[in-house]
Amino acid sequence: MADSKKTILITGGAGFIGSHLVKHFVNKYPNYTIYNLDVLSYAGNLENLQSIQNAPNYKFVKADIVNYEGLKTWFETIRPEAVIHLAAESHVDRSIADPTAFIKTNVLGTLNLLLCAKSIWSDAADWNRFYHISTDEVYGSLGEDGYFTEQTSYDPRSPYSASKASSDHLVRSFFHTYHFPILISNCSNNYGPNQFPEKLIPLIINNILNQKPLPVYGKGENVRDWLWVEDHVSAIDLIFHKGILGQTYNIGGASEMKNIDLVLLLCELMDEKLNRLKGSSAKLIHFVSDRPGHDHRYAIDFSYLTQQLGWKPSCSLRDGLQKTIDWYLSNSEWLQKVSSGDYLKYYEQHYLQRV
């Protein structure tokens, strides 16, 4: 399949994970024409794609997946043979402040894409496929033990995870109802270069750099599993090409950590890199009021993906954090640009309420 000429639509390709995925596909598969469709919200940034912007097999389309008519015209004209769907509102805190945008983009936007693809794939070719990228947050919150498997019942607890769960259900319903060719993966927290500094790791790096308080929600006891973004991309590549249609695959980083320990580790690594006195960044840690409905722990059992397709994460959390910090230190202009304007307003409002 990788040798044949294909037209592939990637949605949300100007965002964090999407931009890594678009670059990977454009570089690795010269026979594929990759369309990146993105509305360029606050989280979308074409600078993430500078290295491939002039590649002959890459095209950018500015469009909103909520706009069904525009999407339909585009599908009927270009007739992509496969879709990898990442476009979404992706930040839990924003979903708590304004759930409506999450329902529009994550639920209605996904339905629009499903309908458009279904209308042009009525005679589904062998490898027409709609690959939906989702999150482990749909499974809810774990106690101290246990892992999410592909069989874990859905129990979303934030407007963000509820909107993603809803989109997963819609995608799966198309498989059962219309024999529509779908794939789904649910992964843990990604980190790496180009992540918008509203998410924990880049926010802490940015604040250490600028010697601003490091906001830790509650007591910092919540646990997340961290997945190096390039490992996520390699899993998506495998699942896209070799996954069984109709299946769901869990993807994890095998790197669980309490938030406070992660923040302390970032402080230690940054003190070293910035030649600051050992312990000086940790003094910036500030415990702030907890996120409402804060999920306690996420942890992923990805053994099905390992057994079926031989995938495993390749990068340890410490190495991944070193690479991430190095990237942010060498791209301070990128960080400054995305941290101004709208984001600054959001940041001031959001953290003013928490302190």
Catalytic position from the list 136, 198, 225, 231: 136
Question: How big is the CA angle at 265 (ends 262 and 270), to the nearest 5 degrees?
Answer: 125
Find the catalytic residue in 147, 160, 191, 217: 160
Cβ nearer to ligand TYD, comparing 214 with 238: 214
Cβ closest to ligand TYD, residue 215 vs residue 243: 215
Q: Which is nearer to ligand NAD, 161 or 281 (CB)?
A: 161
Instruction: Draw the binding track, 270-309, toward ligand TYD (x: CB under 6 A; -: no contact).
Output: ---------------------x------------------
Among ligand TYD, ligand NAD, none, what binds residue 187 when CB lies within 5 to 8 Å by partner kind? ligand NAD
The answer to whether 199 contacts ligand TYD (rule: CB under 6 A) is: yes
Is 221 annotated in the active site?
no
Q: Which residue, 135 or 152, is less far from ligand NAD as judged by CB?
A: 135
Closest CA to 73 of 82, 83, 85, 61: 61
- State the binding partner of 44 from ligand NAD, ligand TYD, none, CB within 5 to 8 A by kind: ligand NAD
- Residue 239 or residue 281: which is nearer to ligand NAD going by CB? 239
Establish whether 32 is a catalytic residue. Answer: no
Distances (CA, A) of 137 to 140, 181, 205, 323: 6, 24, 24, 26
Contact 89, 151 (CB under 8 A): no
Q: Which amino acid, 270? A: M
Active site residue 136: yes
Residue 317 touches which member of ligand TYD, ligand NAD, none, C-beta under 5-8 Å by kind:
none
* Cα–Cα distance measured from residue 256 to residue 195, given in angstroms and rounded to the nearest whole number: 19
Q: Which of 128, 101, 105, 126 is nearest to 9 (CA)?
A: 128
Radius of gyration of the chain measured on its C-alpha atoms: 20
Q: Of 109, 181, 197, 215, which lies in the binding site for ligand TYD, with binding defined by CB under 6 A?
A: 215
User: 293 φ, ψ to 5°?
Assistant: 65, 25
Least distance (Å) from ligand NAD to the CB of residue 264? Answer: 21
95 binds, among ligand TYD, ligand NAD, none (CB under 5 to 8 A by kind): none
Q: CA angle, corner 23, sides to 76 and 182, nearest 5?
A: 50
Q: Which residues are CB-neighbours of 263 under 8 A, at least 6 positions away?
A: 200, 204, 214, 216, 220, 285
Instruction: Specify whether the CB–CB gap between 270 and 208 falls below 8 A.
Output: yes
Distance CA 271, CA 289 (A): 26
Residues at the site binding ligand NAD, with contacts judged by CB under 6 A: 11-12, 14-18, 38-41, 43-44, 64-66, 86-90, 105, 109, 133-135, 164, 187, 189-190, 196
- For binding to ligand TYD (CB under 6 A), which residues are involved? 92, 189, 199-200, 203, 215-217, 222, 224, 259, 291
| Active-site residue list | 136-137, 160
